[in-house]
């Protein structure tokens, strides 16, 4: 038996200040499981690698406690299967448990059948470990793109209610540059699915990423701060922000990756935590499932009706 997803955290729009609540999300995976290292560490080696994901995830849990922030943890179920107590702890400490799939394979490199097995298995493992109904999904490396849109139908059929896998930017591995930038509902033959795209800002007709991850470490902190201010104050939209546990672990073992992947993974790891502190102290955050509610500025300030925009 799983519990339904309870509303958690503060209302989406603060009744007094009008400040908007953003989504804080964590993709729970270990440092050797990132897609950029697929050719450096094979899946058959994962079990032999030093695991640092528990300690690093707890570091984020402690940080969120410090700021009174609840978040969504998109847990890779391969990790959840080996560390069920960690998934239980995420639930106990008041956060949302969501799915990052099981095997961290790019969606557009899978068949629809293999993808269905992956997301079904992941949901079972994470629901068992957390006791929560798992309704959110984020693909490895945002790999729901124009050539894997069929995945959205599968997600609805498998019981997911929202997805956060379509990044409306151009990137070497992912991106749907012309997708809507803000949360919206996708209508699939199996029913509606809310899409929560990672944060972007639109400048000179192009969408630029401002959602966390490598962009948070490689660009100056002010870039993300200004982008979230613009989204919240001018566009009146919530931002979806993401971080990985390995990004708060500057001492992680260095793998033999080369070139830009190495740069992108290891650069400025020591800056993630202090920058997160600035961000958590400056903006309002809640779990991603809070964004399934429509925000209004009248009456009680919020409606529980699912949003159907664009």
Residues 237-256 that bind Zn ion (CB under 5 A): none
User: Which of 24, 27, 80, 292 touches Zn ion by CB under 5 A?
Assistant: 27
Q: Interface with Zn ion by CB under 5 A: which range of 9-17, 64-72, 80-88, 133-141?
A: 133-141
CB of 34 to Zn ion, least distance (A): 6
Q: Which is nearer to Zn ion, 252 or 295 (CB)?
A: 252
CB of 101 to Zn ion, least distance (A): 8
Q: Interface with Zn ion by CB under 5 A: which range of 134-142, 175-183, 193-201, 210-218?
A: 134-142
Q: Which is nearer to Zn ion, 27 or 247 (CB)?
A: 27
- Cα 181 to its chain centre, rounded Å, is 15
- From residue 87, give the alpha-carbon distance in Å to each of 77, 125, 273: 10, 10, 22
Q: Interface with Zn ion by CB under 5 A: which range of 24-32, 53-61, 86-94, 213-221?
A: 24-32
CB of 145 to Zn ion, least distance (A): 15
- Give the x/- contact pattern for Zn ion in 46-85, rule: CB under 5 A: ----------------------------------------
Q: Pull the structure tokens for residue 30.
A: 């270990």
**Pairing state of beta strands 21-28 and 284-286?**
parallel
Q: Which is nearer to Zn ion, 101 or 238 (CB)?
A: 101
140 makes contact with Zn ion (CB under 5 A) = yes
Q: Which is nearer to Zn ion, 101 or 168 (CB)?
A: 101
Q: Interface with Zn ion by CB under 5 A: which range of 9-17, 53-61, 140-148, 277-285?
A: 140-148
Which residues of this chain interact with Zn ion, rule CB under 5 A?
Answer: 27, 29, 140
């Amino acid at each position: 038996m799983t519990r339904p997803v309870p509303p958690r955290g503060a209302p989406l729009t603060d009744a007094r200040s009008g400040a908007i609540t953003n989504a804080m999300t964590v993709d729970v995976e270990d440092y050797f499981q990132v897609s950029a290292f697929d050719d450096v560490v094979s899946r058959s080696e994962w079990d032999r690698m030093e695991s640092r994901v528990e300690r690093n995830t707890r570091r984020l849990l402690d940080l969120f406690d410090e700021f009174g922030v609840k978040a969504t943890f998109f847990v890779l179920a391969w990790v959840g299967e080996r560390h069920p107590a960690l998934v239980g702890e995420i639930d106990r400490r008041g956060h949302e448990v969501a799915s990052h799939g099981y095997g961290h394979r790019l969606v557009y490199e899978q068949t629809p059948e293999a993808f269905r097995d992956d997301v079904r298995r992941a949901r079972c493992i994470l629901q068992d470990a957390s006791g929560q109904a798992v309704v959110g999904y984020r693909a490895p490396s945002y790999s729901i793109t124009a050539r894997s849109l069929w995945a959205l139908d599968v997600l609805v059929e498998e019981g997911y209610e929202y997805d956060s896998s379509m990044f409306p930017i151009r990137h070497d591995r992912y991106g749907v540059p012309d997708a809507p930038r803000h949360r919206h509902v996708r209508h699939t033959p199996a029913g509606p699915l809310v899409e929560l795209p990672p944060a972007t800002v639109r400048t000179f007709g192009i969408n630029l990423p401002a959602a966390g991850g490598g962009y948070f470490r490689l660009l100056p902190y002010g870039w993300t701060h200004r982008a979230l201010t613009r989204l919240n104050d001018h566009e009146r939209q919530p931002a979806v922000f993401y971080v990985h546990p390995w990004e708060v672990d500057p001492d992680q073992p260095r793998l033999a990756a080369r070139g830009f992947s190495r740069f992108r993974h290891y650069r400025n790891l020591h800056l993630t935590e202090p920058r997160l502190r600035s961000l958590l102290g400056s903006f309002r955050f809640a779990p991603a499932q809070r964004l399934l509610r429509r925000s209004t500025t009248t009456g009680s300030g919020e409606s529980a009706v699912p949003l159907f925009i664009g």
